[in-house]
Amino acid sequence: MGDTNVLETTEAQIAVHWQEEDYYYPSPKFIGQANVTDPAIYERFSLDKFPECFTEYAEMLTWYKYWDTVLDTSDAPCWKWFKGGKINASYNCIDRHLKDNKNKTAIHFVPELEEERIDHITYQELYVRVNEFAALLRDFAGLKRGDRVTIHMPMSAELPITMLACARLGVIHSVVFGGFSASACADRIVDSKSRVLISMDAYYRSGKLLNHKINADEAVALAAKDGQVVDKVLVWQRYPGKSSTETPMADGRDYFVNDVVKKYYGARVEPEQMLSEEPLFLMYTSGTTGKPKGAQHGTGGYLAYVTAMSKYIQDIHPTDVYWCMADIGWITGHSFIVYGPLALCASTVIYEGVPTYPDAGRSWRIAQALDVNIFHTAPTAIRALRKIGPNEPAKYNYHFKHMTTVGEPIEPEVWKWYESAVGKGEAIIVDTWWQTETGGFLCSTVPAIKPMKPGSAGPGVPGIHPIIYDEDGNEITQPGIAGNICIQNPWPGQMQTIWGDRDRFVKTYFARYCKNPESKDWRDWPYIAGDAATRSADGYYRILGRIDDVINVSGHRLGTKEIESAALVVQEVAEAAVVPVAHEIKGKEPDLYIALKPGIQATDELAQKISDAICNQIGKIAKPRKVWIVPDMPKTRSGKIMRRVLGAISNKGDVGNVMTLANPEVVETIKTLVQKS
């Protein structure tokens, strides 16, 4: 990285800048009912109480056997939490609630079509369906503890049923976001070595019934080319008892779950007593290289952490109706639609479709119909809802006590609309900063204790001790100076490793500031999150954006290398460079620069072909704003593509001094091309 200021050349440079905002205080009504109100919680979780403090979180769960060691550091930095403990996640999210709450709704499934009835699944019904499907997975699909399964499903009640059935057996699930392409699904099948793929025939999106089964066929074919054979494809039906896809079922490979499961009606499966550190799931995420990495999350530590965060930060009580609008295919959905809320015996809402379908009032009608009182979404959705229906929330009779924002920085103006219009001035807001790798929240206010500050995530949550380092590893203590935000201590929700690539895990998250690579002491292994941040005098952190080659589109991570590799599959392409460009709703969008092989003409058709290649390989979410075919890339004398210069052009910013480049003249040419259109 040399001596150049890394922060200057990355997204932080084009991050939104704003002034310190005033505090907003929680209402006495909120405080009166909150799960935690005693500020002593920060004292209980101070660094000198580490790691024993986290037993408070583990105690929220039901264990077959208690742990011997709270934190085992012998394989640093692959920490093992609650070592020696035995536990099952499915038992904790279902069975333990049956005695007192079997008739309570666990899942409200809301179909996208408003003429279809909402499905209310009680804890007892969830128990029955998870057991039957677990029996099918074990006896029909031959799956056992430690096997991996890839799940490529849309938002549906069957998705958490599938995950919990895996967890019951100790099968490691790897859920791929339903909107991802077959090719992205295939990569994850190959990396996790899954021999079973679980899919669904179809789902609704913006009023259209999309054929999803076709992705399973393509994914299986692509995985086979890479040497991974999938021998069973289990397909749930959107309308049980009837197929909603024209894609044929391959004989001896593809099975409709709704047919096969009949053999298992009434079956009960004893939950596996998992070691606390055995993996619960993999969640693939983008990084600085082309290949997505499988964040491996453990069972006991992860579940303890998300349960505690749901209780203390989301303030979930068993009587609450909780709606997180994220997709279960992302970490937010795993932690805060499925595992956290269900471990606390809440009712969790799963909505199939688009929040603004068929109109801007849809989300608020759902909130009204189900009497939702906790609401959780991302700035990109808030911006979209504000744009198309700023006055819609007032038309509906719902009342939120609590709202969350997650995934990217929220502009104070948007925050204020969220607070006054969506929250009707009655709801508290938590701005939760965290990552796929961290399992649960890192920074946020504890809602009844700390006031809110628009645009700031807040201090570290209890037990998380952030620190900001400069490029040389010195702590930055002055307020308002940006640096690399790190966490000084391990915590139970932290990923255990990258699936199959321990070296990459150590390199990506620890190498930068590790004090001694031989050390078994956690103090020597600060975790680097990959975000730039500032801390203000009150100890609140403001997240500025990624310091690495990751672009945050609508709160979802895409690696620039991932998109560039997809573009390079088009054979006319010689070089590709992706930069983030600011977008009103999505936060950021990828802008793609292309240099063609010699003798090839730039045409609109070719630009379209490159854009299509990216959608096919990754998914529509990665679609570039524009494909700019340029005569040459701006390069340093050593041949490095200057993405900073391209980023400045895309964002109509200052390109700075380019005279040291190998080809400074190309900058003007590109600028004219981009800025005139």
CA 54 to chain centre: 24
Is 434 one of the binding residues for ligand WT7 (CB under 6 A)?
Answer: yes
Is 543 one of the binding residues for ligand WT7 (CB under 6 A)?
Answer: yes
Question: Among 278, 431, 562, 564, which residue interacts with ligand WT7 (rule: CB under 6 A)?
Answer: 431
Please say which residue, 301 or 530, places its beta carbon nearer to ligand WT7: 530
Residues 263-292 that bind ligand WT7 (CB under 6 A): 285
Please say which residue, 283 or 614, places its beta carbon nearer to ligand WT7: 283
Interface map 378-417 toward ligand WT7 (x if CB under 6 A): ----------------------------xxxx--------
CA dist., res. 544 & res. 456, Å (int): 10
Q: Among 136-144, 491-499, 542-550, 602-610, which window interacts with ligand WT7 (CB under 6 A)? A: 542-550
Determine which helix (DSSP H) or strand (DSSP E) holds 617, and give its type and residue range: helix 604-617
Determine which helix (DSSP H) or strand (DSSP E) holds 422, and give its type and residue range: none
3-state secondary structure (DSSP) of residue 667? helix
Residues 257, 132: contact at Cβ < 8 Å? no
Contacts with ligand WT7 by CB under 6 A: the residue count is 24
Q: How far is the CB of 545 from ligand WT7 (least distance, A)?
A: 6
Give the per-residue SS3 of 270-299: CCCCEECCCEEEEEEECCCCCCCEEEEEEC
CA dist., res. 113 & res. 116, Å (int): 6
Please say which residue, 73 or 445, places its beta carbon nearer to ligand WT7: 445
Q: Among 339-347, 513-521, 551-559, 595-603, which window interacts with ligand WT7 (CB under 6 A)? A: 551-559
3-state secondary structure (DSSP) of residue 664? coil
Residues 119, 210: contact at Cβ < 8 Å? no
CA dist., res. 364 & res. 370, Å (int): 10
Determine which helix (DSSP H) or strand (DSSP E) holds 20, and give its type and residue range: none
Show the tokens assigned to 354.
């688009």
Q: 240: cis peptide before it, omega within 30°?
A: no
Q: Among 23-31, 108-116, 433-441, 669-677, which window interacts with ligand WT7 (CB under 6 A)? A: 433-441
CA dist., res. 326 & res. 507, Å (int): 30
Is 546 one of the binding residues for ligand WT7 (CB under 6 A)?
Answer: yes
Q: How far is the CB of 68 from ligand WT7 (least distance, A)?
A: 32
Integer CA distances (angstroms), 27 to 33, 108, 428, 461, in order: 10, 29, 8, 20
Show the tokens assigned to 272.
């596996």
Please list, in sequence order, all residues whose beta carbon lies within 8 angstroms of the beta carbon of residue 531, skipping any fewer than 6 positions away: 433, 484, 485, 543, 544, 545, 546, 547
Is 646 one of the binding residues for ligand WT7 (CB under 6 A)?
Answer: no
Q: Among 381-389, 466-474, 513-521, 554-562, which window interacts with ligand WT7 (CB under 6 A)? A: 554-562
Please say which residue, 438 or 611, places its beta carbon nearer to ligand WT7: 438
Please say which residue, 101 or 288, places its beta carbon nearer to ligand WT7: 288
Please say which residue, 432 or 534, places its beta carbon nearer to ligand WT7: 432
Of 353, 342, 413, residue with least CA distance to 155: 353
Q: How far is the CB of 166 from ligand WT7 (least distance, A)?
A: 21
Integer CA distances (angstroms), 193 to 220, 227, 275, in order: 12, 9, 22
Is 314 one of the binding residues for ligand WT7 (CB under 6 A)?
Answer: no
Please say which residue, 160 or 530, places its beta carbon nearer to ligand WT7: 530
- Give the phi and the psi of residue 620 in degrees, each rounded to 5: -60, -25
Any idea which residue has 């021999």 for tokens?
195
Any idea which residue has 């289990």 for tokens?
234
Please say which residue, 132 or 408, places its beta carbon nearer to ligand WT7: 408
Q: How far is the CB of 163 from ligand WT7 (least distance, A)?
A: 17
CA 485 to chain centre: 19
Question: Among 276, 432, 534, 617, which residue interacts with ligand WT7 (rule: CB under 6 A)?
Answer: 432
Please say which residue, 341 or 389, places its beta carbon nearer to ligand WT7: 341
Please list, in sequence order, all residues whose beta carbon lies within 8 angstroms of the beta carbon of residue 447, skipping any fewer than 6 positions away: 26, 30, 34, 313, 315, 402, 428, 430
Please say which residue, 185 or 283, places its beta carbon nearer to ligand WT7: 283
Q: Among 226-234, 344-352, 540-548, 654-662, which window interacts with ligand WT7 (CB under 6 A)? A: 540-548
CA dist., res. 455 & res. 23, Å (int): 11
Question: Which residue's CB atom is positioned nearest to ligand WT7?
Answer: 436
Interface map 328-347 toward ligand WT7 (x if CB under 6 A): ---xx---------------
Q: How far is the CB of 400 from ligand WT7 (least distance, A)?
A: 18
Q: How far is the CB of 185 from ligand WT7 (least distance, A)?
A: 18
Q: How far is the CB of 270 from ligand WT7 (least distance, A)?
A: 33
Please say which residue, 165 or 331, places its beta carbon nearer to ligand WT7: 331
Is 327 one of the binding residues for ligand WT7 (CB under 6 A)?
Answer: no
Q: How far is the CB of 509 from ligand WT7 (least distance, A)?
A: 12
Question: Among 133, 433, 525, 593, which residue interacts with ligand WT7 (rule: CB under 6 A)?
Answer: 433
Please say which residue, 55 or 651, places its beta carbon nearer to ligand WT7: 651
3-state secondary structure (DSSP) of residue 224? helix
Please say which residue, 546 or 561, places its beta carbon nearer to ligand WT7: 546
Question: Among 557, 588, 643, 644, which residue interacts with ligand WT7 (rule: CB under 6 A)?
Answer: 557
Any idea which residue has 């700023």 for tokens?
390
Q: How far is the CB of 184 from ligand WT7 (least distance, A)?
A: 14
Burial (CB < 10 A; 0-12, 13-18, 19+), residue 503, is: exposed
Q: How far is the CB of 115 from ligand WT7 (least distance, A)?
A: 32
Output the CA torsion 496→299→165→272 (10° steps): 120
CA dist., res. 489 & res. 391, Å (int): 44
Please say which residue, 392 or 431, places its beta carbon nearer to ligand WT7: 431
Residues 581, 624: contact at Cβ < 8 Å? no
CA dist., res. 439 & res. 444, Å (int): 14
Question: Among 435, 488, 489, 534, which residue interacts with ligand WT7 (rule: CB under 6 A)?
Answer: 435
Half-sphere exposure of 238 (CA within 13 A, CB side): 24
Q: How far is the CB of 410 from ligand WT7 (least distance, A)?
A: 7
User: Which of 47-64 are b and which e, b meaning 16 or more Cβ less than 10 Å from the residue's Cβ?
Assistant: eeebbebbebbbebbebe
Other Cβ atoms closer than 10 A to 132: 22
Of 549, 301, 184, residue with least CA distance to 174: 184
Please say which residue, 84 or 179, places its beta carbon nearer to ligand WT7: 179
Please say which residue, 197 or 553, places its beta carbon nearer to ligand WT7: 553
Q: Among 196-204, 315-323, 548-556, 600-608, which window interacts with ligand WT7 (CB under 6 A)? A: 548-556
Interface map 454-483 toward ligand WT7 (x if CB under 6 A): ---x--------------------------
CA dist., res. 73 & res. 518, Å (int): 12
Question: Among 95, 531, 549, 591, which residue interacts with ligand WT7 (rule: CB under 6 A)?
Answer: 531
Please say which residue, 257 or 581, places its beta carbon nearer to ligand WT7: 581
Q: Interface residues with ligand WT7 (CB under 6 A)?
A: 285, 331-332, 406-409, 431-436, 457, 529-531, 543, 545-546, 552, 555-557
